[in-house]
Structure 1
Amino acid sequence: MPAKHSRHIALTETLVAWIDSQVANGEYASTSDLIRTAIRVLRVQEEGRPVQPASAMSAPHGKGQA
């Protein structure tokens, strides 16, 4: 899905390193994919629904777009 809006956020070096490792390991297609998945998980938690495994939250990581 093409981004319609972009945001600039500040992250700690620890978070940047962890995100980069997740993308490098193929867990997520991009930093944006990881962040979108994280936001989906937070929304589900806020709504009080059980959180599904990450694989169920979006397309297979590294193999498509969410």
Structure 2
Amino acid sequence: MPAKHSRHIALTETLVGWIDTQVATGEYASTSDLIRTAIRVLRIQDEGKVAVQPASTMPAPHGKGRA
């Protein structure tokens, strides 16, 4: 599918290496495929369909961590 819009982004060497590995192992067809997938996941999360919170912001389980 031809891109309708393109963006240029700066990535760390660590991210570039990880992306290249994902593509090389066949997890994704291309870097663009991986980025589109990541953006779809973030959109779903942002829309509240997936509740993902960093552990540091999650409340303590009931009855635990209380004085």
> Normalization by structure 1: what TM-score?
0.74
Residues 8-57 of structure 1: CA deviation (Å, up to 9, x unaligned):
00000000000000000000000000000000000000001138xxxxxx
Name the amino acid aligned to 1:21.
Answer: T
Report the count of equivalent residues. 51
| Greater C-alpha radius of gyration | 2
Alpha-carbon distance in structure 2 between the residues aligned to 1:10 and 1:46: 23
Alpha-carbon deviation of 1:2? 1.4
Fraction of identical pairs, as percent: 84
Alpha-carbon distance in structure 2 between the residues aligned to 1:14 and 1:29: 20
| Structure with the larger RCO, 1 or 2 (CA within 8 Å, 6+ apart) | 1
Aligned-residue Cα RMSD (Å) equals 1.2
Name the amino acid aligned to 1:34.
Answer: L
List alignment gaps of at least 5 residues for structure 1. Answer: 52-66
For 1:28, what is the secondary structure of its paired residue?
coil
Alpha-carbon distance in structure 2 between the residues aligned to 1:20 and 1:48: 30
Find the counterpart in structure 1 of residue 22 from structure 2. Answer: 22
